[in-house]
Structure 1
């Protein structure tokens, strides 16, 4: 059964204030100045590339309003829970830097509800969504096809890393590839240990991994050990920042939750704490924007 989900970038909120009992001498409040939106948003769909049956993936395309000519873009891939506020949190900072975004919804395309029980069996099954997004953006008149990157959270972080390998990059349209990859907490222990999570023989595009020291999917040094295990040529293209005390999903700024996942605790399974850290969220967001700015030559 398909589960109906209200996406945070589709829902709209309005606020109303009621003023009463004001003295006659008091001046009415001044209206807030009208603010120009940072980006123009549109809801789009595109075909995934290489799926066994045709699949249309929905997404929100946002192009900076102050763009002059074609601009670089970043595909944003969600985590196991589906589209949430993390995408818009990071997208806004990219828009302010003059970078377009395409937030994709992989679960709605498949009628999935998300979570450990409502996701595909392997991350590689959703790479066709990334290649379809890349193809869509490459043909868009507002996007610079030579400057398209990808970022993602957890599941989406795994996607952004696997898409940097020559093996999986072969699924893209000929001549197309992501030029920068920015995974957030991408479950580092699984690479080169779990089938279909091979990480090596990279395309040469830069990769910026951000991980949490207290992430209960990994050991505190899982990501560093992964980087150290790469060939010198591949290692030269990978950078890593580990945030002390940060849990999995530190930039999910809603109240803390606890989930259960068979991939947690380096594959032993069990409960995972996801606690918000506004300070780490802001630091990691700035670092991500700086990474893409450098990668795009901005």
Structure 2
């Protein structure tokens, strides 16, 4: 039996919002992760696109407090563990740059607990959540539908990668696609080796991969080998930064943990060390914001 999970910040999602896909109540001030808020938050829900059975996905939509007119936006897709502090950590920097965010909660919609045993079988199963988010944001009166990007961590990083391919963008609303993709540690060894993880024939939107040289899912050069293997036209769309000494999940700024995952160690499976690196976290966050600024044509 699937375990029903409700994330802490999802407690405020109203039944009316689940049914309608509209904005629900404002988040209580004491739950805001920064002492001086740079964004205003609301809970939203929207239908995933293309799932076998109807699925309503929830998330936290945040706008910069100084936003005027239509602003660009970034969808934030969590990792296998589910919603955690990484989403807010990166969202705060995007808000300061004048960019709205939509942090997804994909596991609660499916009654999953997260982790290697509590996630869907394949990342492609959650791409409908990304397409639903893109459709929702494109129709929002305060969002510029031509400037919507996606970023994610691990599982969400794979979503960010696959959504850049013409094969998978076919699942989006006709004429819609993400304008930029920023995957964090997206398990590079798996692409074009594991079925349903095909990466190629890209849409042409820029893709910025950030990876750690000490990530135990990959070899130190896995991401570079992936980039080098792409067709020349696709390679022009992809950039890569690898951080020496950084493990998987370097921007998870809680105490170090060890997990087990059958996809680790280039598919051999085993234990994975996840150690926080505040310096790398801040560097990668700045790089991510700069990438979206350039992609959206925003002033530095």
TM-score normalised by length of structure 2: 0.90
Name structure 1 gaps, 5 residues minimum.
Answer: 16-34
Structure having the larger proportion of residues in helix: 2
After the TM superposition, which residues 118-137 of structure 1 pair with which residues of structure 2 at under 5 Å, given as runs? 118-137=118-137
Q: In 1, Cα distance between the equivalents of 2:148 and 2:7?
A: 28
Shift of 1:38: 1.1
Shift of 1:163: 0.1
Shift of 1:269: 0.1
SS at match of 1:98: coil
Query: 2:295 corresponds to which residue?
Result: 295
Is this contact kept in 1: 2:38–2:64, CA < 8 A? yes
Query: 1:244 corresponds to which residue?
Result: 244
TM-score normalised by length of structure 1: 0.91
Larger Rg: 1
Q: In 2, Cα distance between the equivalents of 1:234 and 1:173?
A: 23
After TM superposition, where is structure 1 displaced by more than 6 Å over at least 4 residues in a row?
none
Is this contact kept in 2: 1:72–1:296, CA < 8 A? yes
Is this contact kept in 1: 2:5–2:112, CA < 8 A? no
Q: Does 1:198 align with 2:198?
A: yes
Shift of 1:3: 3.4
Alpha carbons of structure 1 residues 8 and 214: separation in structure 2 relative to 1, 3 Å: farther
Is this contact kept in 2: 1:8–1:85, CA < 8 A? no
Question: What per-residue deviation string (whole Å, max 9, x for no partner) do you get for residues 138-178 of structure 1?
Answer: 00011000000000000000000000000000100011000
Alpha carbons of structure 1 residues 101 and 231: separation in structure 2 relative to 1, 3 Å: same
Query: 1:51 corresponds to which residue?
Result: 51
Q: In 1, Cα distance between the equivalents of 2:58 and 2:229?
A: 37
Shift of 1:37: 2.8
Alpha-carbon RMSD across the aligned residues, in angstroms, is 1.5
Shift of 1:36: 5.9
Q: In 1, Cα distance between the equivalents of 2:225 and 2:36?
A: 46
Query: 1:268 corresponds to which residue?
Result: 268
Q: How many residues align?
A: 279
Query: 1:26 corresponds to which residue?
Result: none
